[in-house]
Amino acid sequence: MQLGDYNRIVEREMLWLGCQQITPGQVTVITIDDQNATWYNFTRFKDAEKGCHISGMSELKKYFQRFGYLSIPNNQNDNFTDVFDAQFESAVILYQQKFGLPVTGKLDSETISTIMSPRCGVSDTESTIHATKHFAYFYGRPRWDRGSSMTLTYAFSPTDMIDYISLPEIKTVFKRSFSRWASVIPVNFTEIDDYPSANIKIGFFKGDHGDGQPFDGVLGVLAHAFSPENGRFHLDEDETWAIDFEKVKSKMAIDLESVATHEIGHILGLAHSSIKEAVMYPSLKPRSKKVNLKLDDVEGVQALYGSNPNFKYSSLLAYENSYNKAINLNQRSCSWTFSTVVVVVFILFMIT
């Protein structure tokens, strides 16, 4: 499927019920709306469980391998079979634990929907996982070390940027994202023009861009950043980046500020969190925004760098409480609207 393809296509779809393949000859009409089919095909594994043999499951195993849930030697392609074996079941369980999903060991609809969500390209399990906390670090717990009052510089690539959002607007978004982290730890971030000498190097890249972590076109992987003290911060140029959903109507629009805030967490040394509300959770739905640091993010980064003397837990807790109260009230008064949104989001992923 091609980018920008607005054709309606007719596709014969196989339905799966547990392990049993049913071929009703059902014809499903799917509207393809400026997107590719990165992980769309995974819908056909819905309800699969241990013992199933489904053609193409090897691709799903490669997805699990890519994000750290399987360790199959991939020097031989036929090491990835189409059998849902015990090793794959363990990987599914680990994935469900990491994403805070019900742990069923099966590819239930919630798990498949999460797998299909756009996400960060950083592996989920290249990290030290705490028994009692949800935040995590990269192996060896690397952090930036520049003395007690630390200033890290960042710069934008002079060549690898997008042109449909102005540079001043992009800079404003990143300034806000950096300032959120700076407000909780004793670290300052300063923008400089000299890209080669900056600690943090930000740019937009397409496909294979030379770091062994190729991007994959629209949706799928959105961005990735490297652990300290590497500083490379890469965004997938093929996404429809947005800073204002009022102006960008695409169903595939991705909030730049949310992704920027998440990737700065990696730059600082945080790995992925299993708390859905945390900024460091690995996936982000299109047209959604998650920019405010949660307690889990703050505890994680402060364990690496200490607290900013001006930071007060009480203000964060007060904010989280008022946020939760607002959510609860909203859910009580607008429960129909809320579930409609969930259904719409789910349908959106069924057709992407």
Residues identified as active-site:
263
State the residue number with the nearest CB to Zn ion.
Answer: 120
Q: Minimal CA–CA distance to 288: which of 326, 242, 233?
A: 242
First vs last Cα of the chain: how many Å apart?
11
Give the nearest distance from C-beta 211 to Zn ion in angstroms: 4
Tell me if 161 is assigned to a ligand binding site. Answer: no
Give the nearest distance from C-beta 333 to Zn ion in angstroms: 34
Measured from the CB atom, the residue of 107 and 121 that comes closer to Zn ion is 121
Give the three-state DSSP class for 187: strand
Give the nearest distance from C-beta 212 to Zn ion in angstroms: 8
Contact (Cβ atoms closer than 8 angstroms) between residue 207 and residue 246:
no
- Collect all residues with Cβ–Cβ distance below 8 Å to 312 and sequence separation of at least 6: none
- Mark residues 227-256: x for contact with Zn ion by CB under 5 A, - for none: -------x----------------------
Chosen residue from 122, 182, 264, 293 binding Zn ion by CB under 5 A: 122
Q: Which residues within the stretch 249-288 sit at the binding site for Zn ion (CB under 5 A)? A: none
DSSP string, 236-302: ETTSEEES-TTT---TTEEEHHHHHHHHHHHHHTB---S-TTSTTSSB--TT----SPPHHHHHHHH
- Collect all residues with Cβ–Cβ distance below 8 Å to 41 and sequence separation of at least 6: 56, 59
Measured from the CB atom, the residue of 1 and 291 that comes closer to Zn ion is 291
Contact (Cβ atoms closer than 8 angstroms) between residue 185 and residue 146:
no
Tell me if 163 is assigned to a ligand binding site. Answer: no
How far is C-alpha 58 from the chain's CA centre? Answer: 22
Measured from the CB atom, the residue of 65 and 261 that comes closer to Zn ion is 261
Chosen residue from 120, 202, 259, 278 binding Zn ion by CB under 5 A: 120
- Collect all residues with Cβ–Cβ distance below 8 Å to 132 and sequence separation of at least 6: none
Q: How many Å apart are CA 58 and CA 295, to the nearest integer?
A: 38
Place of tokens 């195993």: 61
Of the listed pieces 163-171, 209-217, 312-320, 332-340, which binds Zn ion according to CB under 5 A?
209-217
Give the nearest distance from C-beta 285 to Zn ion in angstroms: 15
Tell me if 53 is assigned to a ligand binding site. Answer: no
Q: At what angle do helices 167-182 and 256-268 cross, to 10 degrees?
A: 50
Tell me if 266 is assigned to a ligand binding site. Answer: yes
How far is C-alpha 213 from the chain's CA centre? Answer: 15
Chosen residue from 158, 211, 251, 331 binding Zn ion by CB under 5 A: 211
Tell me if 134 is assigned to a ligand binding site. Answer: no
Measured from the CB atom, the residue of 182 and 203 that comes closer to Zn ion is 203
Q: How many residues bind Zn ion (CB under 5 A)?
A: 5
Of the listed pieces 39-47, 72-80, 94-102, 122-130, which binds Zn ion according to CB under 5 A?
122-130
Size of the chain in residues: 352
Give the nearest distance from C-beta 51 to Zn ion in angstroms: 33
Binding residues for Zn(2+): 120, 209, 211, 224, 234, 262, 266, 272, 280
Binding residues for Ca(2+): 216-217, 236, 239
Residues making contact with Zn ion (CB under 5 A): 120, 122, 211, 213, 234
Binding residues: 120, 209, 211, 216-217, 224, 234, 236, 239, 262, 266, 272, 280
